[in-house]
């Protein structure tokens, strides 16, 4: 079910859809994890694979022609259910649930869990997954501070390995100048900051008019 199917969708119905999409995404994340870690016999894997293929066929009976994109609910809320970092129903996304400081200063934070599916070196989070999380967090900071932007440049510094498990991330705005916002952030594990990032985010041309207005 996608939020744009009905123009007359109520806030309550949107909540219901959001809840179902969240649970569905979570079930799929569990399957992804189980698939990596399973040690069942080849025949059991083949059977599971056939069933997975059948579910896929049914879900495809009615589907969006391309990617999920960004839907705007009738209440004006922007939904990114397909996003690779925050998408509720994208099994690639942990998903990050980003909390914004209510003051609107651009400070954002998220707590999340990274399991077997996010592995790079044995037992450690893939360096590129740290980059995915920090790109999203810094972009959210820029956006929370008033100017959504596309990443212009991102520099990631790896101070120590990031262990798989429970982690959190924080980001904030460093400075802002015209259409550019510089943001910084980090990932924190049980032994402190593991990875730091700084990046510049640029308001895309299609959004400049809206922002100026």
Q: Which of residues 163-192 bind a second copy (CB under 8 A)?
A: 164
Cβ proximity of 208 and 179 under 8 Å: yes
How far is 194 from 126, CA to CA, in rounded Å? 12
Is 37 one of the binding residues for a second copy (CB under 8 A)? yes
CB of 58 to a second copy, least distance (A): 6
* Coil, strand or helix at 172: strand
Positive or negative torsion for Cα 164, 101, 148, 4: positive
How far is 143 from 105, CA to CA, in rounded Å? 10
Report the length, in residues, of the chain.
213
CB of 194 to a second copy, least distance (A): 12
CB of 187 to a second copy, least distance (A): 13
**Binding residue for a second copy, selected from 7, 12, 58, 102, defined by CB under 8 A:** 58
Burial class (CB within 10 angstroms; exposed 0-12, middle 13-18, buried 19+) of 22: middle
Please identify, using beta-carbon distances, which residue of 103 and 209 lies nearer to a second copy.
Answer: 209
Q: Which of residues 128-167 bind a second copy (CB under 8 A)?
A: 128-129, 131-136, 139, 150-158, 161, 164
CB of 103 to a second copy, least distance (A): 26
Is 77 one of the binding residues for a second copy (CB under 8 A)? no
Rg (CA), the chain: 19
Please identify, using beta-carbon distances, which residue of 5 and 10 lies nearer to a second copy.
Answer: 5
Is 11 one of the binding residues for a second copy (CB under 8 A)? no
Residue 78-117 contact track with a second copy, rule CB under 8 A, x = bound: ---xxxxx-x-xxxx----------------------xxx
* Listed ranges 46-54, 103-111, 168-176, 181-189: which one lies at the site for a second copy (CB under 8 A): 46-54
Cβ proximity of 95 and 25 under 8 Å: yes
For residue 26 the two structure tokens come to 């979570």
């Amino acid at each position: 079910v996608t939020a744009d199917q009905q123009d007359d969708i109520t806030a309550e119905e949107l909540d219901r859809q959001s809840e179902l999409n969240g649970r569905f995404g979570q079930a799929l994340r569990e399957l992804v994890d189980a698939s990596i870690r399973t040690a069942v016999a080849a025949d059991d894997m083949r059977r599971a694979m056939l069933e997975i293929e059948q579910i896929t066929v049914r879900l495809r009976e009615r589907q969006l022609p391309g990617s999920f994109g960004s839907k705007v609910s009738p209440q004006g809320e922007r939904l990114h259910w397909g996003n690779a970092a925050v998408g509720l129903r994208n099994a690639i996304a942990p998903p990050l649930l980003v909390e914004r400081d209510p003051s609107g200063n651009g400070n954002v934070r998220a707590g999340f869990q990274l399991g077997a599916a996010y592995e790079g070196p044995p037992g450690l989070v893939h360096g590129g997954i740290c980059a995915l999380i920090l790109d999203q967090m810094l972009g959210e900071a820029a956006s929370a501070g008033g100017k959504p932007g596309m990443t212009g440049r991102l520099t990631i510094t790896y101070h120590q390995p990031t262990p798989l498990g429970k982690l959190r991330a924080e980001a904030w705005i460093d400075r802002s100048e015209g259409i550019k916002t510089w943001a910084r952030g980090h990932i924190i594990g049980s032994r402190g900051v593991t990875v730091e990032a700084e990046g510049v985010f640029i308001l895309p041309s299609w959004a400049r008019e809206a922002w100026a207005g």
